[in-house]
Amino acid sequence: MSAQWFLFLLSFVLAFLMHFAAVSTLTHTIIAQNNNTIITGDRLALLGIKSMIKDDPQGVMTSWNHSTTNFCEWQGVTCSPRHQRVTHLNLSSGGLIGTLSPSIGNLSFLREIRLSNNSFSGEIPPEIGRLFRLQQLRLYNNSFMGNIPEAITNCSKLRVLILGSNNLVGKIPDGIGSLSMLYILGVKNNILEGGIPPFIANLTLLEMLTFDDCQLGGSLPDVFQRLTNLRILDMSGNNLIGTIPPSLYNCSSLEIVILGNNQLTGRLH
């Protein structure tokens, strides 16, 4: 190999290595910028939630501000240690008054939302349906109104759905029957229409089912033979008619059954 050819080959290799290093650095820079953009998005989403709070008498959200404080240290916020993304939002019993911002749908790593025992009003934002990792949604004891958003049924990993003691109206979305991982479903103390949805037969992991005081009518569907894990059933305070279906007596795991204040007839088995 001639010296001239060797120098040419060496120059080519060095040029290639420099180009590769430049591309690698640019790629890592872009990835870092994207990660920072995503993390900033979580901060902005949280601030969007705060902006819809009219009153915070307990100062729960005092730490939620625009300062350099890491939002993962804000009260009620838990982040994943690896990605620094918001995974849990727990503002239960905080005395908060306001509405729930649609920006909650931008917290794409959320696994739990706990807002029970506050004074949230307005509708449940359908943007919650974008939270594909969500496992628990607890909105019990607020003043949410409007329909139960159909979009919630997009949260296929939901295991706990508690919407009780609000002012929700309309029918229970049939799509909830596709949430096959649910083990707690509670919609008590709302103003709902229709009857007990037959889709509960699809929720074979259910351990607790509470539809009490919802003004539901019709008869109890004879589908309980599939609910082999059911321990607590409360259908009291509705307008149910007819008799208790035979399949209910086959639920050997049942510990608590409350069917009072209905118009059920006939004899108990």
Q: 217 in a domain, yes or no? A: no
Q: 140 in a domain, yes or no? A: yes
Q: What is the mean pLDDT of the chain?
A: 89
Range of the domain at 89: 3-193
pLDDT tens per residue across span 204-250: 999 999 999 999 999 999 999 999 999 999 999 999 999 999 999 88
Rounded-to-10 torsion of CA 157, 178, 151, 76: -30
Provide, rounded to the nearest whole percent, the portion of the chain with pLDDT above 90.
79
Question: Are the CB atoms for 100 and 49 separated by under 8 Å?
Answer: yes
Q: 200 in a domain, yes or no? A: no
Residue 19: C-alpha distances to residues 25, 152, 193 (Å): 10, 48, 66
Q: 180 in a domain, yes or no? A: yes
Q: 216 in a domain, yes or no? A: no
pLDDT tens per residue across span 42-78: 999 999 999 999 999 999 999 998 776 799 999 999 9
Q: 18 in a domain, yes or no? A: yes
Q: 219 in a domain, yes or no? A: no
The number of folded domains in the chain is 1
Q: 41 in a domain, yes or no? A: yes
Residue of 146, 98, 101 whose CA lies nearest to 128: 101
The span from the CA of 56 to the CA of 93, in Å, is 11
Question: Residue 181 carries which DSSP code?
Answer: T
Can you give the CATH number for the domain in which 185 is found?
3.80.10.10
